[in-house]
Amino acid sequence: MAILTAALGDAGLGARHVALAIGVLLASVITHYIHRGYQVRKMLKDLEKQGIPIMKHSWILGHLEIVGKLLKNYPSDAHGNYLPILILENWRELFPQCKDRPPVLYLDMWPFAQPMILPLLLPVAVQFTQDYSLIKAHQQKEVLYPLTKNRDISSMEGPEWKVWKKRLSPGFSNQTITSRIPDLLDEVDKFYALEKHTTKLAMDIIFRFFFGKRIHAQLASAQAALEHAVMDTVKRMVFFHHIGNFIQEHNPYRKFRLWKNYRTMLSGFGPVLQQRLGELTTDEKPRAKATDTLVDALIQGVMEDREAGLVNTSDSDFLGLAVGQIGTFIFAGHDTTASAICWVLHLLSKHPDVLRKVRAEHDAVLGSDAAAAASVLRSRPELINALVYTNAVMKEAMRVHTNVGTMRRGEPGFYLTGPAGSGYDGVKFPAGEGWVVWDNTFALHRDPELWLRVHEFLPERFLITDEGDPMHPPKNGWRFFELGPRNCIGQHLAMVEIKMVLALVLRRMDIEVAWEEWDAERGLKGKKAPSVWGDRCYHAGADSPPHVKDNMPVHIRLRQ
C-alpha cells in the first residue's frame, strides 16, 4: 500500500484524483447501462405499437418479471435453455391476446442479456439458418476471441469462411472419419470412467484426430499444458455481457491469464506446426491431401492463402491462423461431446429396455465377445455404420437433451415471416440490427406440435421411414448440430466418437447415477435437493454449453 501511495504521489496523483477517476468511470458505466436499457425497452415498445404480439412488457423490468415467475421453481443453477421451453409450454397464458401461437418470441431481459428473438415455430428457425443464413452474433465472436483471435472457421464469414469450409470439410466427412476409427480407438480404449473423463476423452480425440498419430505423439509432452491453457481460457470466457459479469469480464487478472494461455498455445503448438510446414513445403515431398490429417489440410490452406497474398509470410501470421483454427475445434468439440455422452448414458440407465436392445445390437454387429469390440472395429471400422439402433438412441437422447445452438445477428431490414397456416401467414416480424436471433433448438426439440409423445424417450421414432407416420421426425425438426451452411462441421466425428464409447463400454459396464451417495456426502440427504422435471440430473451453468449437473456422479460396475 505504501508503495502504491508513493507511486501515486510520484505521479502527482492524490487519493482525491483516484476517487474522481473511479467516480467518472462508474458514472459512465451507469449512464451506458441506462441509455442502452432505454434503447432496448423502446425496441419492444415499438414492436407493440406495430401490433406485433409480445409478452407483457414493462419499461422498468422488461420481461424480467415474467422470466422470474417462470423460473421460480427451478434451481438457481438451472441452465437458461429451460426458459424458452417454459415459454413455449405456457404461450397461451403469456400471449393472452393471441389465438394462435406467435411464430416469433421477442425477449427483453436487459441488463442481464441482449434483446433476443427466438422462433416459436420450426419454419421460422429454417428461415434464418437454412433459407438464408444470418451471420453469427457478435457475442459468438467475442467469446472466441481470447482463444482464437477470431482467426477460425467459426468466426469467419463470407468468402473467407467459404474457402476454409471447403478446405476443412473433406477431413470431417463420414468416409474420412470411418477410415480414422482404428487410430481414434486408441484414445477411446483408454476410457473407463465417466464424469469429467468424458471431457478429457473428447479433448484427446480432437488432438488425435487433428494431428494424427505421429504428430500427436510429438505433442505428448506439451499436451497437458496445452489442455490446461485451453480449459483455463474456456473457463474464463464471458458468453453474455451483462451487468452481473461486468467485474469478472474486466478483471485485469482474467485478461492476463487469457493472454498467458494464448502464449502457451502459440509456444506449445508452434514447433510441431512449423516442422510440419517445413515437411510439406520441401520440394521432394508431395503436398498433403486434405483428408490425410486436419493439420495438413490446415497448413495447405495457409500456404494457399500465402500464395494468394491473403496471409503474410511471417511465422507469427501463419501460427496465429493455425492456432486459431485448432482452438475453435477444441472449443467446439470437447464439452459438447462430453455432455452428450453423459446424457446418452444417463437415459440408457433410466431405460433398461432400450439398453437391452442396444447391447443386443452390439452383440449382433460386433460379436458376442464384448472385450473384443475394439479389435473388431479396428479391423472393420465400417461396422460402426451398422449400429443403426444405437444411432437412433443417440439422436433421441440429443433431442431430449439438446445442448448448444446458434446465435445470429439481426440485419437491417431483415424480417422473419409468419409461416403459411400458422394464423400469421405472411406477417412480417422485424429482426433488424440490435437483435440477437437465437435458434431455440432446445425448445423446438420439445414442441408437442412437432414431436408425438414429446417428453418420452422413444429412439424408435428415428427408425421410421414412412414420412406419413405421425411418429416420423418432422422435416428439419432434428437440429442438434444445426442445419444450413453453418451447421456443425464436426458432427460425424462427434457421432462416431459417441458410438465408439457406447460400443466399448455398454456391454462391459453398468453405469447408473449415484445421487444418493453424492447428496449424503454433501449433507443434502433428507433435504430437498435441486432437480428439474423430477431428475437430479439437469442442464446446469450460466454459459454455453450447459453442463450436466455436478458432472453427473455415477456408479460404474464391471459386468460379469
Residue numbers in the known binding site are 488
Q: Are 129 and 437 in contact (CB under 8 A)?
A: no
Name which of 137 and 229 has its Cβ closer to ligand HEM. 137
- What is d(CA 386, CA 228) in angstroms, rounded to the nearest whole number? 37
Q: Is 327 in the site for ligand HEM (CB under 6 A)?
A: no
Name which of 165 and 254 has its Cβ closer to ligand HEM. 165
Q: Is 337 in the site for ligand HEM (CB under 6 A)?
A: yes
For the bound state, the minimum distance from the C-beta of residue 305 to ligand HEM, rounded and expressed in Å, comes to: 17
Please give the backbone phi and psi of residue 118, each rounded to the nearest 5 degrees, phi first. -130, 135
Quickly list DSSP for 26-64. Answer: HHHHHHHHHHHHHHHHHHHHHHHHTT------BTTTBTH
Angle between helices 294-307 and 315-350 (to 10 degrees): 150
Q: Is 57 in the site for ligand HEM (CB under 6 A)?
A: no
Q: Is 490 in the site for ligand HEM (CB under 6 A)?
A: yes
Candidate residues 124, 230, 397, 404; the one interacting with ligand HEM per rule CB under 6 A:
404
Name which of 54 and 215 has its Cβ closer to ligand HEM. 215
Please give the backbone phi and psi of residue 399, each rounded to the nearest 5 degrees, phi first. -70, -45
Quickly list DSSP for 208-233. Answer: HHHHHHHHHHHHHHHHHHHHHHHHHH
For the bound state, the minimum distance from the C-beta of residue 281 to ligand HEM, rounded and expressed in Å, comes to: 26
Measured from each CB, the residue nearest to ligand HEM is 490
Q: Is 403 in the site for ligand HEM (CB under 6 A)?
A: yes
For the bound state, the minimum distance from the C-beta of residue 134 to ligand HEM, rounded and expressed in Å, comes to: 10
Name which of 115 and 545 has its Cβ closer to ligand HEM. 545
Q: Are 387 and 377 in contact (CB under 8 A)?
A: no
- What is d(CA 254, CA 263) in angstroms, rounded to the nearest whole number? 14
For the bound state, the minimum distance from the C-beta of residue 508 to ligand HEM, rounded and expressed in Å, comes to: 23
Stretch of residues binding ligand HEM (CB under 6 A), selected from 282-290, 326-334, 351-359, 363-371 = 326-334
Q: Are 440 and 119 in contact (CB under 8 A)?
A: yes
Q: Is 486 in the site for ligand HEM (CB under 6 A)?
A: yes
Candidate residues 127, 139, 264, 336; the one interacting with ligand HEM per rule CB under 6 A:
336
Stretch of residues binding ligand HEM (CB under 6 A), selected from 13-21, 73-81, 331-339, 357-365 = 331-339
Q: Is 199 in the site for ligand HEM (CB under 6 A)?
A: no
Interactions with ligand HEM, residue window 110-139 (CB under 6 A): 136
Stretch of residues binding ligand HEM (CB under 6 A), selected from 55-63, 103-111, 284-292, 398-406 = 398-406
- # of chain residues touching ligand HEM (CB under 6 A): 26
Name which of 150 and 267 has its Cβ closer to ligand HEM. 150
Stretch of residues binding ligand HEM (CB under 6 A), selected from 8-16, 47-55, 346-354, 397-405 = 397-405
Angle between helices 388-400 and 491-505 (to 10 degrees): 110
Name which of 55 and 502 has its Cβ closer to ligand HEM. 502
Name which of 165 and 242 has its Cβ closer to ligand HEM. 165
534 — alpha (psi -120 to 50), left (phi > 0) or beta? left
For the bound state, the minimum distance from the C-beta of residue 497 to ligand HEM, rounded and expressed in Å, comes to: 7
Q: Is 328 in the site for ligand HEM (CB under 6 A)?
A: yes
Q: Is 290 in the site for ligand HEM (CB under 6 A)?
A: no
Beta bridge partners of 509: 558
Q: Kindly give the pairing relationship between strand 436-438 and strand 407-409.
A: antiparallel
- Please report which helix (H) or strand (E) contains residue 521, including its range: helix 515-521
Interactions with ligand HEM, residue window 414-453 (CB under 6 A): none
Please give the backbone phi and psi of residue 33, each rounded to the nearest 5 degrees, phi first. -65, -40
Q: Is 493 in the site for ligand HEM (CB under 6 A)?
A: yes
- Please report which helix (H) or strand (E) contains residue 92, including its range: helix 91-94
Q: Kindly give the pairing relationship between strand 539-540 and strand 116-119.
A: unpaired
Candidate residues 114, 148, 154, 291; the one interacting with ligand HEM per rule CB under 6 A:
154
Residue entry with cell 492476463:
256
Candidate residues 153, 384, 513, 540; the one interacting with ligand HEM per rule CB under 6 A:
153
Q: Is 177 in the site for ligand HEM (CB under 6 A)?
A: no
Q: According to DSSP H, which parts of 50-172 are helical?
A: 64-70, 82-89, 91-94, 122-126, 138-148, 158-168
Interactions with ligand HEM, residue window 340-359 (CB under 6 A): 340
Q: Are 328 and 147 in contact (CB under 8 A)?
A: yes
Quickly list DSSP for 437-471. Answer: EE--HHHHTT-TTTSTTTTS--GGGGG---TTSTT
Q: According to DSSP H, which parts of 193-314 are helical?
A: 197-236, 246-250, 252-281, 294-307
For the bound state, the minimum distance from the C-beta of residue 324 to ligand HEM, rounded and expressed in Å, comes to: 11
For the bound state, the minimum distance from the C-beta of residue 371 to ligand HEM, rounded and expressed in Å, comes to: 27
Name which of 104 and 436 has its Cβ closer to ligand HEM. 436
Q: Are 183 and 198 in contact (CB under 8 A)?
A: no
Q: Are 107 and 95 in contact (CB under 8 A)?
A: no
Q: Is 239 in the site for ligand HEM (CB under 6 A)?
A: no
Name which of 145 and 481 has its Cβ closer to ligand HEM. 481
Please give the backbone phi and psi of residue 78, each rounded to the nearest 5 degrees, phi first. -65, 140
Which residues lie closer than 8 Å to 441 by C-beta, 6 or more apart? 125, 402, 405, 479, 480, 482
Residues forming the site for ligand HEM (CB under 6 A):
136, 140, 153-154, 165, 206, 328-329, 332-333, 336-337, 340, 403-406, 480-482, 486, 488-490, 493-494
